[in-house]
Amino acid sequence: MRYLLLSLCCVGVLTACHSTSQLKSEPETLTSTLPKVDVNQEPGILDQYHVGGFSVGGWVNQKLGQYFQPIQPQNSQAAVVYLYRPDSRWNQQEIAAANIFINGKRIPSLLNNHYYWVELPAGTYRISTSRPLTVFHFQEPKYIDMTVDAGQSYYLKYDEENPARKERTGPFLIMQEKIGRNEIAFTRLKSSSYNFVAQDTSGKIRHKPQELKPAKYDEKSDVLLVKPFKIWNPMTW
């Protein structure tokens, strides 16, 4: 009887330890500060017709910023989506930039040669764009539904000049990682990025996205890729 009780106690201790280890090994389920969107439905009338903000384009806003650098998300279970728009003459001459939304929440417009990122819990999100006339939106939005996995990185390109662009997704292209990293390398961080994970680093829940402001740009920190032009001095002949 004594050995039976001892055996039962050992089994109980081992079971408790195993259960505890399972609980500790299970990753935290993250939630988002974004409103929910039914991706099975097309954008509604309020997504097309509304009053909101607008941004000037690259012809007016020629702000510079640091060149692309990959980041580590604040939560290891979050996905990172890099949004970028390469340099081109078309993008340089844009006067009014198109607005961009994620689940109906406005995020920075993409200017010429510009990138930023958003941090998201695993899930499916709708990223849309429309070009307003000042503050009035009436253009049918183009959109892409994107599914992201925990701990992964994605590259979403904004390209109005793409001849193969589709009617629904418009300028949005999900790029392969290798191609995306090569293209985004020459773009600059010209705006804030955003963390839409509800849990902060201490585990507390926030109800608004966290704005991640870029560091102050210093031109001296840029690597000089081209030899600077100098006027020829005949005295050096």
Q: Which of 4-18, 31-45, 83-97, 149-163 has the lowest mean pLDDT?
A: 4-18
Examine the pLDDT at 174 and tell me if it is beyond 90: yes
Provide the percentage of residues in the chain whose pLDDT is more than 90: 55
CA dist 130 and 140 (Å) reads 7
Mean pLDDT for the stretch of residues 117-146: 92
Examine the pLDDT at 63 and tell me if it is beyond 90: no
Give the chain's mean pLDDT: 84
Where do the domains of the chain lie?
A: 45-221
Backbone torsion region of residue 123, taken as left when φ is above 0, otherwise alpha when ψ lies between -120 and 50, otherwise beta: left
Distances from the Cα of 88 to the Cαs of 68, 85, 108, 230, in angstroms?
A: 17, 9, 19, 27
In sequence order, which residues have a C-beta less than 8 Å from that of residue 65 and are 6 or more positions away? 114, 188, 189, 190, 191, 214, 217
Mean pLDDT for the stretch of residues 34-43: 93
Examine the pLDDT at 189 and tell me if it is beyond 70: yes
Examine the pLDDT at 199 and tell me if it is beyond 90: yes
Count of CA atoms in the C-beta half-sphere (13 A) of 18: 6
Q: pLDDT at position 172, please?
A: 96
- Sequential DSSP letters for the chain: -HHHHHHHHHHHHHHHHHHHHHHHHSPPPP-BSSPP--TTS---HHHHSEE---EE-TTT-----PBP-----SSTT-EEEEEEE---HHHHT-SEEPEEEETTEEEPPP-TTEEEEEEE-SEEEEEEEE--BTTEE-SPPEEEEEEE-TT-EEEEEE-TT-TT--TTTTTEEEEPHHHHHHHHTT-EE-S-EEE-BSB-TTS-B-SSPEEEPPPPP-GGGS---SPPP----GGG-
Examine the pLDDT at 80 and tell me if it is beyond 60: yes
Distances from the Cα of 166 to the Cαs of 68, 75, 145, 229, in angstroms?
A: 28, 34, 13, 43
Whole-structure pTM value? 0.80
Cβ(125)–Cβ(103) under 8 Å?
Answer: yes
Provide the percentage of residues in the chain whose pLDDT is more than 70: 81
Dihedral pair phi/psi, residue 225, rounded to 5°: -90, -20
